[in-house]
Structure 1
Amino acid sequence: MKTNNQLEKMKRDQLSEEDDQIWVYDSSVDHKGNLPLRASTGVWKSSLFIIAIEFSERLSYFGIATSLVIYLTRVIHEDLKTAARNVNYWTGVTTLMPLLGGFLADAYLGRFSTVLISTVIYLLGLSLLTMSTLVPSLKPCDGETCQEPRKVHEILFFTAIYLISIGTGGHKPSLESFGADQFDDDHPEERKQKMSFFNWWNSGLCAGVIFGVTLIVYVQEHVGWGMGGVILTSVMAISLAIFLLGRPVYRYRAPSGSPLTPLLQVIVAAFRKRKLDYPSHSSQLHEVQSGDKFQGRLLSHTKNLRFLDKAAIVEERGNSKEKEGAWRLATVTRVEELKLVLNMIPIWITSLPFSICVAQASTFFIKQCGTLDRKIGNTFVIPVSSMYCLAAAGMIISVAIYDKLLVPLLRKTTGNERGISILQRIGIGMVFSFTTMVVSALVERKRLSHTTHPMSVFWLAPQFFIIGIGDGFALVGLQEYFYDQVPDSMRSLGIAFYLSVNGAANFLSSFIITIVDRITKKSSGKSWFGDDLNSSRLDNFYWLIAGIVAVDLCVYVFLAHRYTYKSVQKTAVGDCYDDKGPNADSAV
């Protein structure tokens, strides 16, 4: 028979569960600054608005990026070397800007405000780009062709594309993390839906890529660059309006100051206490107490990187908890947050070879397309850049099959809520990237031996499609990993870390090409990279990349097997917010 205390506890638990079904207690607020109502905010009703604007951004980015080198050579009349260098500069800035944008979103502006500001900057860049090709006094020249474009056109053009780069820097890390914020990690049903969010986010992204490399590229080549700009600008303006329409149903997170400061405090505190002995039990470490102001979830203690635990040791000095500041005494949660960031470094490094494979799809794969027969029927010729849509299609198909078929089956088989772990999903994608490079090497060898007449471009379809399938596993997995496994206060920066993998891989790919070019030229007198593809040996280069991926995959499996995932405490303590939540203005 239950005692009165047990009955009262059961009643309190039941009321707490009912209250949790009505309100969202994850440190988020609604657009008025109040606790969000679960039924009327968040999940798919809000994330669909967010996916819509991501479609627009990817449409614009790939519509510009895939044709940029063509515009610089055909319209501005730069030589190929100068044009390639300008494209690399622009791509480099675009891939580094998310680190700054993610930091500002987490620390000061908030994710919604960062998305809004960066989209306006993006729209301004698209508008200037369109004006530079339509306004007579701003066009490259008065006639259809000219030997040297007007200086004002060059200035306006480069200003426009770098405004787009800045807009992308704030847009990419903030929008994806803002979309994932619409799902409550502590609610079982919403947590499952959140796992699907990253899949459908990438489906919307790939839809934008497909239209960008087909419709927009076709309009640019056959109608005009100005009309392509008008379409991109109009779609971005419409998507911004759609994004703002969703404001009443969004859930917002208030920026909490620099997310890097608490990590630095842990390092300083651990260094100061480096001579202390390890505590015999984790209960002796300092943790957030009831009544403390702490926004976010509490993390459980883990046994890896133990030297950092010394930062949470309470020195025996009477009321030391009150006297020791954050630079001398850290909580277990802050220590574990630093461990999370340090644990990510090996995963970030071992993800680079996969992204190197992805980089080949937008460079050498596309160049190969230009040497093959691209005719469909007697008249229609497939634009070179449009073959990239096969990679996007492969990603969409793999994501749909994974989300709707594999995950439900794997949940029953493994008992894992995700079906398989995040790192296992990334590893499967790496296997597909290895397969892509093997297939690419075999196809390229056949192309080099096929000298009588050009092969069909569809011989390249398998390698585009397979790398797309790999993206559906590894790229989506990396997005989920860098969002989920970073501290809650730096999720936009986490997405920026994911984006930096792709940026670093592009630079690393260029570095490998340079080294291989020098070594092969010195050893055999003939480089693998000749003046054209027919005098090159891309098949050997693809075999080299396949070997690098194979070795890297072995290291990755070892690291993934030993990896310790974020461990969130079941119950949180502390006053995360008052009755009305954080101030609405600071949240949005």
Structure 2
Amino acid sequence: MEHELENMKRGDQPGEIDKKKWVYDSSVDYRGRIPLRASTGVWKASLFIIAIEFSERLSYFGIATNLITYLTKVLHQDLKEAVRNVNYWSGVTTTMPLIGGFLADSYLGRFRAVLISSFIYLMGLGLLTMSELIPSLKHCNMDKCTKSTKIHESMFFLSIYLISVGTGGHRPSLESFGADQFDDDHSEERKKKMSYFNWWSFGLCCGLLFGVTVVVYVQDYVSWGVADIVLTVVLAITIVIFYVGRPFYRFRVPEGSPMTPMLQVLVAAIMKRNLPYPSHPTQLYEVPKTEKTQGRLLCHTPKHKFLDKAAIIEDDDVMNSVNLCFYVFLAKRYSYKNVQRKLAIADCYEKDGTEFMA
């Protein structure tokens, strides 16, 4: 309270004080309230996220790099069969983020998607470790063998495909969840966000480096079981670290399928394809300020101008319930453009620093 009074003495308006104290970017804290800027987000939250990214990349590359060696030397598959199995696994691993990203954005939320996928990932690593340590699950019960046991093969493939599912939740959600910890409308946090991506890449590269060197060395010269134990323990520790950071996170509430408003805007643009463009973007329909919730809209861009057709106001729009149905989602029309083109935050501001909305 005393801090707010000092700000008012300096001439700050109450609204400006609120923006300094609270985060109005559509995010909430872990209790579902508007986040307090001083105690949530930024680096106090991002470090937890970078830690689990390091362990996930460590596990993934530690397994993927030496996978074909394991299939040929431990499971005694011929090279052709081993390459085919690696390609199948790589294809599934590459496809899963499409499903994971959709579920995270539409229903689960990024934090929950990362947490669930982390436990699935850990389950896969746990099964992989068990298949190497438990005698009845080992690839061979004799000193020398030319073929692995069926139960070991089943356990092995089940574990690596569980890891694929876990990767599908991590890759589309974790980096975005880290970016959610920074408010783009706050100049200082916007600068820190750029630094966050640098440190994110550093954590990712460290995980990759240790995965393809240290983990592979342990697999080749110590044992596969020891390497699996290391990966499982490291991931388990970072999952705990990630969850401990929950009070510091800023969360975005999932708003249903992002495809729905995108398709509605596209249909509205097609329906109005014969209408002329207005002379200025400010003549396009915009959500009234009284209906705007916390958060901000992306600025108008000259790219993909055809989509602006959806926001052209017709004389009979007030009476046309079909068009009004589309207008409800026009606040998100620029997210459709943003899917097709990366939009720098700086582009949303004119030279005088004011945000231009249309």
Tell me the TM-score normalised to structure 2 length.
Answer: 0.90
**Preserved contact between residue 265 and residue 330 of structure 1 (Cα < 8 Å):** no
Deviations 1:151-178 (A, max 9, x none): 1111110000000000000012111111
Cα distance in 2, alignment partners of residues 29 and 294 from structure 1: 13
Closer, same or farther: CA 566–93 of 1 in aligned 2, 3 Å = farther
Q: How do 1:307-318 and structure 2 match up within 5 A?
A: 307-317=306-316
| Aligned positions of 1:365-380 closer than 5 A | none
**1-structure distance, mates of 2:131, 2:13:** 64
Letter matched to residue 191 of structure 2 = K
For the pair 1:50 / 2:44, whether they are aligned, the reply is no
* One-letter amino acid of the structure 2 residue matched with residue 336 of structure 1: Y
Q: Which residue of the partner structure matches residue 348 of structure 2?
A: 567
Please list, as runs of the form range in 1=range in 2, the aligned pairs for 1:79-158 lying within 5 A after superposition. 79-158=78-157
- Residue type matched to 2:306 in 1? F
Matched letter for residue 338 of structure 2: L
* Alignment correspondent of 2:227: 228
Give SS of 2:291's match. coil
Distance 2:152 2:31 in 1: 45
Alpha-carbon distance in structure 2 between the residues aligned to 1:173 and 1:310: 31
Q: The residue matched to 2:35 in structure 1 has which SS? A: coil
What CA distance in whole angstroms lies between the structure 1 residues aligned with 2:265 and 2:349?
Answer: 19
- Residue 172 of structure 1 aligns with which residue? 171
Specify the alignment match of 1:209 in structure 2.
208
- In the TM superposition, what is the alpha-carbon distance from 1:28 to its structure 2 partner? 0.9
CA contact (8 A) 2:124 2:161 kept: yes
- Note if 1:74 corresponds to 2:56: no
* CA distance in structure 2 between the partners assigned to 1:303 and 1:61 by the alignment: 41
Alignment correspondent of 1:183: 182
**Mind listing any 5+ residue stretches in structure 1 that lack a counterpart?**
1-7, 345-480, 487-564, 574-588
Shift of 1:57: 0.5
Deviation at 1:305, TM superposition (A): 2.5
Partner letter of residue 337 of structure 1? Answer: S
Give the count of matched residue pairs.
346
How far, CA to CA, are the matches of 2:344 and 2:117 in structure 1?
A: 25
Alignment partner of 1:34 is 2:33: yes
Match status 1:340 vs 2:338: yes
Post-superposition offset of 1:566: 5.5
- What whole-Å deviation, never above 9, does each CA across 1:196-243 have from its counterpart, x for those lacking one? 101101111111112212221111111111111111111111111111
1:141 to 1:299, Cα distance in 2 relative to 1, 3 A: same
1:373 is aligned to: none
Q: CA deviation at 1:98?
A: 0.9
CA distance in 2 between partners of 1:287 and 1:180 (Å): 27
Question: What is the identity percentage for the equivalent residue pairs of Structure 1 and Structure 2?
Answer: 60
Indicate the SS of the match to 1:204. Answer: helix
On the 8 A contact 1:314/1:321 being kept in 2, the answer is: no
In the alignment, the residues of structure 1 paired with residue 349 and residue 331 of structure 2 have an alpha-carbon distance, to the nearest angstrom, of: 9
Letter in 1 for 2:282: S
What secondary structure sits across from 1:129 in the alignment? helix
CA distance in 2, matches of 1:301, 1:256: 22
The whole-number CA distance in structure 2 between the counterparts of 1:293 and 1:87 is 50
TM-fit CA distance, 1:41: 0.8
Q: Residue 222 and residue 323 in structure 1: after superposition, are their counterparts in 2 closer, same or farther (change >3 A)?
A: closer
| TM-score (normalised: structure 1) | 0.56
Aligned partners of 2:38, 2:53: CA distance in 1, in Å? 25
Once the two structures are TM-superposed, the CA of residue 322 in structure 1 deviates from its matched residue by 6.6
Residues 312 and 330, structure 1, Cα contact 8 Å, conserved in 2: no
* Aligned-pair CA distance for 1:93: 1.1
Indicate yes or no: 2:200 matched with 1:192: no
CA distance in 1 between partners of 2:314 and 2:67 (Å)? 60
- In structure 2, the partner of 1:441 is none
CA contact (8 A) 1:133 1:225 kept: yes
Question: How far off its partner does 1:279 sit?
Answer: 1.9
Q: Secondary structure at the match of 1:236?
A: helix
Superposed CA offset, 1:484-538 (max 9, x none): 669xxxxxxxxxxxxxxxxxxxxxxxxxxxxxxxxxxxxxxxxxxxxxxxxxxxx
Q: CA deviation at 1:16?
A: 2.1
For 1:256 and 1:332, the matched residues in 2 are separated by: 15
Quick one: which amino acid aligns to residue 336 of structure 2? L
Could you give the per-residue CA deviations for residues 524-565 of structure 1, whole angstroms, max 9, x where no partner exists? xxxxxxxxxxxxxxxxxxxxxxxxxxxxxxxxxxxxxxxxx8
- 8 Å contact 2:54–2:204 — kept in the other structure? yes
Which whole-Å CA distance do the structure 2 matches of 1:208 and 1:72 have between them?
A: 23
What residue number does 1:319 align with? 318
Equivalent residue, structure 2, for 1:516 = none
Q: 1:97 to 1:62 in 2, by over 3 A?
A: same
CA separation in 1, counterparts of 2:231 and 2:238? 11
User: What is the SS of the residue equivalent to 1:243?
Assistant: helix
Task: Summarize the alignment of residues 266-277 of structure 1 with structure 2, pairs less than 5 Å apart.
Answer: 266-277=265-276
> Distance in 2 between the 1:318 and 1:253 partners?
33
Shift, 1:320, TM fit: 4.3
Native 8 Å contact 1:126 1:229 kept in 2: yes
Task: Give secondary structure in 2 for the equivalent of 1:325.
Answer: helix
Mapped partners of 2:246, 2:356: distance in 1: 28
Distance 1:304 1:240 in 2: 41
Give the AA of the match of 1:338. Answer: Y
2:166 maps to amino acid? G
Q: 1:323 to 1:209 in 2, by over 3 A?
A: closer
Change (3 A) 1:118 1:125: same
Equivalent pair of 2:24/2:294 in contact (CA under 8 Å): no
Which residue does the alignment assign to 1:20? 19
Question: What's 1:514 paired with?
Answer: none
Distance (Å, rounded) in 2 between the aligned partners of 1:572 and 1:275: 27
Structure 1 position 22, deviation (Å): 1.0
| SS, match of residue 291 in structure 1 | helix
